[in-house]
Structure 1
């Protein structure tokens, strides 16, 4: 428009929009501040996820033959007949040999270590995620909600720049941003809020959590409580206070975590992390405490890291390797060398366009992840039907119902009785005498929480392939313990009402899960 010309309607409208945009700057700055994440927190998330992955691999490796090979309780022939929705997703299902599983576990461990130190962070993270999907798909019977949450959080975290600080990538790059705000950080911050809010809503559908009774019921479940849980189970007043405190943290997560900034946000994050560490010492709930802790780390603000840095001895930081001390890793990544060569040959515009396109693609993907979290989370708590086009077992992963709507008021354990050819009976697990008495500590009836989950699948499958695979394995276990011929294995489920008031009101009941003929390998 020339000087003195009359503004057109479009010009006036553009001017109004510019003024409105300028006036909303304070609001936009406040919103931005709440979704901005310190890159040290992102590095800590990466380290926490990598350590959790390594812990999980080591934990599973202790029973690798039992759960992942043809010599165990869940051979490939059982895998092919159960959880068919996971068919074709597992590299681990290519062979039932022990050496093959050990090789894949070792491979996953190496990629987890690379992720831990931040070498090619996004690439090795993606490979680790795919190996995790494969491992989960090989035996879904040993998974609980903590495994699913770990998978989801790992996927969401890969959208954020986890290798920005405290990483080999950062050392090679030589620069690092202090803070980051993007759809990736939005997704990382929103994910735990959806988990907590959805769980609070689902608990509201019950009649025990908001009455202050649920935690006392949960702690009376002897298969779930360990260490500190066995102690506080005798203090109902304390359990009531902890019950209301937990419900408050869940239902108020948006207010406590997302709204504040600075020190107040730091204190709120400490409260949640403290609750999760308490969970780890009181209940055997798998990876839940570790994953939930990792999900809160992005809320730790700069003031936390600045304060913590003052207590780190200088000699520790002086020993950190510089980029020139990385040896072969000192070379720039191959894609950087390739782009440098292209720029040298006069393709600067094409390289710039490729980088801009890649950043735009990552932004779009981050936005889609945020939408995925919110849409499926809302659909779950509203119990709405998701359109068939997007309703898929591997996409609809935003259902978080831990101990909701009410904790179970009973617990169970399992006894595999083996009948020998000489007419005697033994406990197939250890070759000892069979007893149906209530154990002093029912949590000791399971080697790990994965054994508990697997036996729940055995119970639910009843005469299916999982139950038969377990019974067949028990036949072999009993034979190994005694060296005698085992004719039959009967798996019993013992059910005990929880002693909510501190005393048992009834004796355990017994139900038969499966009777299995060891010689003919058939269900009786």
Structure 2
């Protein structure tokens, strides 16, 4: 649990660092989604966000620094529960500020912090445990540990269940089409892409792995061994994904998510190697038993005064566990909505809790099928003397030839996700704000030639079976002028 806490905190810090590079673009009124547009087009009235309190970059910077401070506190295990709550609130807030750049990994990171509020992940390897003797026992069982394990299972079972297209179930062409998306293709994917039959076999392997691997989490015999197999499989699975497809922080979030499952034997091995730095950092050496159930960690109630809040928190464990089981049932119901029969759908009047506390989640990665529409952007700026410059490539002359690496054109995965949402007809309202934002940035630089017009052009290329594509079509998505 301590490793889980530290890994989640580290991912939150990395996420904040990446987001901060687009502070103005994604979170202020001068960017692609001003506050009045957010509230008019993409806001859920049940949601909350302190990041919507101002459209100034200075306020956003202060909120980002606050979130980073809370994440550092969580990493060190200082006032762990408070830092967990604050980190969760600020993460929900920043995600709600710009939903057009949110991806599946954000849901998992959010849920890890949510269930972490109720986990004792600050009991060891934490400042809160400094100068305290190790717990008498490490076995711990509660609704929170059940919720954590079930949440991990839901991620993979639901994404497999949602993959209902023939590309996944019968044809086995899903990975072929996924690697045909040049905006996602990584160098490892280029090596796999020419092997059509291998991709078919890997497609079926991926589907059944996602569907059946979570069974390992619930085997009651030799549980630590099966959990270790699950962790190793997840690390291998997401390592391959990260080498073949551009998925941002998704693979790191999944790495962090399974660390709470590591058996005590693995932690004993780690502690023997990290013991000296841990003692220097926290003044405490956690002596782990050689064997235990991975989701068990019993914590004594006679804690150091710094952890007094936790003792009071456990005064009504039965009531707490009851509430958590209800929340878990609600989460399962939300996940099954859309998979099960419509008679069992989660009706709108019951959805307010999921929206408010952001326990809403959807694991439709490449589901029900894989997009076949691919392409690349050209930001076609026409100068006053008639030249055509591509702002997407630093103002070079426009060329309609396909770039070698379309993925490399995206600054980060947030912009890639934004460009994906930008294409949908239902999101056409996004287009003028993006166009005007780009035009303003260009015109503010006195070294750039003045533009008469800017057009956002998409070169659409539809993938067909067996390495064929439809002819590339030039589509003008939006235009703007000074």
Output the TM-score relative to the length of structure 2: 0.86
Unaligned runs of 5+ in 2: 285-302
**Structure 2 CA distance for partners of 1:79 and 1:43, relative to 1, 3 Å:** same
The answer on whether the counterparts of 1:418 and 1:426 sit within 8 Å (CA) in structure 2 is: yes
Match of 2:437 among 473, 496, 500: 473
- State the match for 1:406 in structure 2: 369
**Structure 2 CA distance for partners of 1:410 and 1:424, relative to 1, 3 Å:** same
Separation (CA, whole Å) in 2 of partners of 1:199 and 1:215: 15
Match of 2:337 among 379, 382, 398: 379
Give the secondary-structure state (helix, strand or coil) at the position aligned to 2:476: strand
1:439-518 alignment, distance < 5 Å: 439-460=403-424, 465-480=429-444, 483-498=448-463, 501-502=466-467, 504-518=468-482
The answer on whether the counterparts of 1:418 and 1:488 sit within 8 Å (CA) in structure 2 is: yes
**Structure 2 CA distance for partners of 1:369 and 1:318, relative to 1, 3 Å:** same
- State the match for 1:8 in structure 2: none
**Structure 2 CA distance for partners of 1:148 and 1:313, relative to 1, 3 Å:** closer
- State the match for 1:35 in structure 2: none
**Structure 2 CA distance for partners of 1:439 and 1:69, relative to 1, 3 Å:** same
Match of 1:225 among 182, 185, 191: 185
Separation (CA, whole Å) in 2 of partners of 1:331 and 1:369: 30
The answer on whether the counterparts of 2:167 and 2:174 sit within 8 Å (CA) in structure 1 is: yes
**Structure 2 CA distance for partners of 1:441 and 1:424, relative to 1, 3 Å:** same
- For residue 331 of structure 1, report the CA deviation from its aligned partner: 8.0
- State the match for 1:303 in structure 2: 265
Separation (CA, whole Å) in 2 of partners of 1:379 and 1:264: 29
**Between Structure 1 and Structure 2, how many residues are aligned?**
454
2:386 maps to 1:426: no
Match of 1:144 among 103, 110, 128: 103
Unaligned runs of 5+ in 1: 1-41, 324-329, 340-351, 519-524
Q: CA RMSD in A?
A: 2.7
1:153-302 alignment, distance < 5 Å: 153-171=112-130, 173-176=132-135, 177-203=137-163, 205-211=164-170, 212-259=172-219, 260=221, 261-302=223-264
**Structure 2 CA distance for partners of 1:45 and 1:314, relative to 1, 3 Å:** closer
- For residue 400 of structure 1, report the CA deviation from its aligned partner: 1.2
The answer on whether the counterparts of 2:129 and 2:304 sit within 8 Å (CA) in structure 1 is: no
Deviations 1:302-343 (A, max 9, x none): 222234444x165445434327xxxxxx9833857xx9xxxx
Deviations 1:235-292 (A, max 9, x none): 3344333323222221113322321512233123211221112212221123321222
- For residue 172 of structure 1, report the CA deviation from its aligned partner: 5.5
Deviations 1:168-187 (A, max 9, x none): 12225544341211100000
- For residue 217 of structure 1, report the CA deviation from its aligned partner: 1.8
**Structure 2 CA distance for partners of 1:296 and 1:314, relative to 1, 3 Å:** closer
- For residue 409 of structure 1, report the CA deviation from its aligned partner: 2.1
Deviations 1:14-58 (A, max 9, x none): xxxxxxxxxxxxxxxxxxxxxxxxxxxx11111111111011011
Give the secondary-structure state (helix, strand or coil) at the position aligned to 2:186: coil
Separation (CA, whole Å) in 2 of partners of 1:296 and 1:96: 37
The answer on whether the counterparts of 1:69 and 1:97 sit within 8 Å (CA) in structure 2 is: yes
- State the match for 2:294 in structure 1: none
- For residue 136 of structure 1, report the CA deviation from its aligned partner: 0.8
Deviations 1:87-133 (A, max 9, x none): 86221122222222111111111100101111111111111111111
Structure having the higher Rg: 1
Separation (CA, whole Å) in 1 of partners of 2:215 and 2:363: 20
Separation (CA, whole Å) in 2 of partners of 1:252 and 1:391: 29
1:7-26 alignment, distance < 5 Å: none
Deviations 1:438-493 (A, max 9, x none): 11111123211211221233333678542121111121233245544433221112
Separation (CA, whole Å) in 2 of partners of 1:365 and 1:507: 56
The answer on whether the counterparts of 2:455 and 2:479 sit within 8 Å (CA) in structure 1 is: yes
2:14 maps to 1:60: no
Match of 1:78 among 22, 29, 37: 37
Match of 1:319 among 263, 276, 280: 280
Separation (CA, whole Å) in 1 of partners of 2:29 and 2:64: 16
**Structure 2 CA distance for partners of 1:421 and 1:88, relative to 1, 3 Å:** farther
1:27-38 alignment, distance < 5 Å: none
